[in-house]
Amino acid sequence: MKFLLSINYLIWLTLSALFFAGGEFFSKKFALNPKALLVVGILAIYSLGVLAWLPAILQKNQLSIVGAIWSVMSLLATVLIGVLIFGERLSIVGILGVVAAFVAVALLSLN
């Protein structure tokens, strides 16, 4: 347990967000071409994301801040996957939403 807590919570949050984004990536792949094996992989990847989340919340113990940081990290990773890999377009309102999310995390982190 000491090893898990020796790693900074931001690293755990980054890992968790990346696993979540990986789950989102394979969910999109599943939507394009449904296969049962993808579902098993998606569940495994999301589960790893949860396991990476637990040391972060244990270390920081502030759900409002940790949750907001994780949300923005996973949002950004998911948006980048959608735009860069799947060629999806982001509207001006969507871009403003991403910027607002970053502002929210910055304000919450000032605590």
Q: How far apart are CA 108 and CA 111, in angstroms?
A: 6
Cα gap 65→97, rounded to integer Å: 18
The whole-angstrom separation of Cα 91 and Cα 105 is 22
| Percentage above 90 pLDDT, the chain | 64
Q: Provide the whole-model pTM.
A: 0.82
User: How many structural domains compose the chain?
Assistant: 1
Q: Which domain holds residue 92?
A: 2-109
In tens, the pLDDT along 67-86 reads 888 888 898 899 999 999 99
Residue indicated by tokens 């347990």: 1
Cβ atoms of 23 and 46 closer than 8 Å: yes
Reading the block at residue 28, the tokens are 């999109």
Q: With bands split at pLDDT 50, 70 and 90, how would you rate the model's confidence at 111?
A: low
CA-wise closest residue to 14 among 68, 73, 57, 63: 73
More confident residue, 3 or 96: 96
